[in-house]
Structure 1
Amino acid sequence: MSENTVNHPVTAKKVNPRIENYKMIWKRLKKNKAALIGGYLIVFFIVVAIFGPMLLSKDPNSTDIANKLVGPSAEYWFGTDNFGRDIFTRIIHGMGITLYVGFLSVIIGLVVGVPLGIVSGYYGGRIDNFIMRIMDILLAFPGILLALAIVSVLGGSLQNVIIAVGIFSVPAFARIVRGSTLSVKKLEYIDAVRALGATDFRIIFRHILPNVMSPIIVQATLRIATAVLTAAGLSFLGLGAQPPMPEWGAMLSEGRDYIYDAWHVAFFPGMMIVLVVLAFNIFGDGIRDALDPKMKQ
């Protein structure tokens, strides 16, 4: 009597290192309560910017002189301004403008600054000196002054503000990416890939760029806060969004003349600028801690 036994091979579950790395980053990020609050606020702001204007029946630019400078009430949650416009409605509509300026200007800085930084760090030599000297010239000016000069030349408008903030964001991305590229290209596996016949294009986009994404993500998150604050400052000076656009910096500028008689006109736009900038800053700090290789187990 023979007994046949069938041995089923045990297949090991394949583990994707990239997915595991994302899980570890999320695990570390969850431990930072302040960063989570900032992230939730950012998601809330984005949802409000997209769907908020659809849910409001009031026109942000409709005037009612009979009810001008009315304080916060059940009818006007944030009160009205000097033209009788509902401040709450204008702030909700202005949310999309603020985030649009912040994200688009940072995207411009990314698209221009990241390739310049990688090329500068990878090739070095005269190319590196030429690119970095241009970046040094741009960095010699404080960001707000550089943006102010650019807008003064191009003219005051929301589009020109985006271009100006994007231009002064380029040097920050270029320098950070250059430094990371210099570190990555010295690794042994880059030499191995090059020895196997990989082109510079493949090395840069398949091996170097993925390894410098962490500082890029952190810088982009923090840079959005700077872009929002700079754009609001330019609009406050009258060089950004033009009336009657409900941009928070412009609203803050209009409200400063009534700060003693109607505090709410300047308070609520200023409060929203602070909340958005604070949310991106604390979330960016949390992302930086979560992506820090020194915190890996």
Structure 2
Amino acid sequence: MRRWTTIAAILVLVFLVLAAVAPGLLAPGDPLAIHPRQSFLAPSLGHLFGTDESGRDIYTRIVHGAGASLLIGLSATAIGVGLAIVFGLLAGLGPRWLDFGTTRFLEVLFAFPGLLFALLFIVVYGPGVVTSTIAVGLATAPGYARIIRSQVLVVRGSPYLEAATVLGRGPVARVARHLLPNVAGSLFVLVTLGIGQSIVWASSLSYLGLGAVPPAAEWGAMLSAGRTYITSFWWMTFFPGLFIVLSAVTTTVLGRALQQRVRSS
């Protein structure tokens, strides 16, 4: 059962990546093209996911929106993991006072709910796609940093790192050649798991009107536009929400599979 779940997740990931890289192959239409006479059409062979209030094809908009949603998820995860590496290395390799101060700082940040922290950041710096991406990255960084710190502490006491110290290798060489490669497996799992979370959070911010805004072909913005018609034209919110869930579930399943592989190896 687990094998088939992983295969299904890989197939969904291939579809999402293809939609992000070459959306014209899957949906050659214009995601912003307006056809008022075709508004609110239910799902059919002509419009697989139906149309919205302006007659735009929802399937085309979802395919073309995959690139924006995945880019936001990847960028936010990169920001969060990048900051986490810095804080994790400072806490794990620094002197005791630096470890104490960095850990307490991370615990204070971790006490805030991630989405609330992102909302506070947007309140200060204003809404927008770039701002929401940075906000999600900052909100996820404390959790990643705590995990990286624990991994660094494990590797720090390993014999090969002690041997590198005895051989006179500098701190930069020890981190780059010995520590980071041995933390890379767990780090890659973190990235895989984090992308889905970042997509969900960024879509939530867009749904609230703090990220991408309609008529942008972005899944959260499509949810926001369709909520007005949810009782009458369910497909306007169902399909964007479905793909948000699918992207999160796909990255989580693949991340768990990688995590088990890393533990077994």
Separation (CA, whole Å) in 2 of partners of 1:58 and 1:33: 33
Structure 2 Cα separation of the partners of residues 85 and 107 of structure 1? 33
Residue type at the aligned position of 1:257: T
1:170 partnered with 2:141: yes
- Alignment of 1:219 with 2:190, yes or no, is yes
Change in Cα spacing, 1:289 to 1:132, as seen in structure 2 (3 Å) is same
The corresponding residue for 1:100 is 71
8 Å CA contact retained: 1:87, 1:265: yes
Determine whether 1:155 maps to 2:115: no
| 1:134 Cα deviation after fit | 2.0
Letter in 1 for 2:149: R
Residue 193 in structure 1 maps to residue 131 in structure 2: no
Inter-partner Cα distance in structure 2 for 1:191 and 1:57: 57
Partner of 1:134: 105
CA distance change for structure 1 residues 288 and 88 in 2, over 3 Å: closer, same or farther? same
RMSD: 1.5
Q: Supply the AA of the counterpart residue of 1:207.
A: H
User: Which residue of 49, 59, 69 corresponds with 2:40?
Assistant: 69
Give 2:181's aligned residue.
210
Q: Which residue, out of 71, 74, 87, partners 1:116?
A: 87
Identity of aligned residues (%): 36
Name 1:45's counterpart in structure 2.
16
User: 2:226 matched to which residue of 1?
Assistant: 255
Deviation at 1:54, TM superposition (A): 5.5
Contact 1:36 1:283 in 2 (8 A): no
- Counterpart-to-counterpart distance in 2, 1:258 and 1:129: 52
2:262 counterpart residue number: 291
Deviation at 1:82, TM superposition (A): 1.1
Q: Is the 8 A contact 1:94 1:247 kept in 2?
A: yes
Q: In the aligned structure 2, how far is the partner of 1:33 from the partner of 1:287?
A: 15
Write the deviation string for residues 144-197 of structure 1: whole angstroms up to 9, x where unpaired: 111111122221111111101111121122111110111111122222211111
**Structure 2 partner of 1:281:** 252
Separation in 2, partners of 1:194, 1:217: 26
In structure 2, C-alpha distance between the alignment counterparts of 1:275 and 1:218, rounded to whole Å: 18
> Which runs of no fewer than 5 residues in structure 2 stay unpaired?
none
Question: Would the aligned equivalents of 2:128 and 2:212 in 1 still touch at CA under 8 Å?
Answer: yes
Instruction: Check whether the contact 1:34–1:283 (CA below 8 A) recurs between aligned residues.
Output: no
- Work out whether 1:228 is the aligned partner of 2:199: yes
3-state SS of paired residue (2:52): coil
The 1:37–1:74 alpha-carbon spacing in structure 2 relative to 1, beyond 3 Å, is closer
Q: d(CA) in 2 for partners of 1:32 and 1:129?
A: 43
In 2, Cα distance between the equivalents of 1:122 and 1:190?
12
Matched residue SS, 1:95: helix
Larger radius of gyration: 1
Map 1:232-251 onto structure 2 (within 5 A). 232-251=203-222
2:52 to 61, 81, 90: 81
> In the alignment, is the contact (CA less than 8 A) between 2:27 and 2:59 conserved in 1?
no
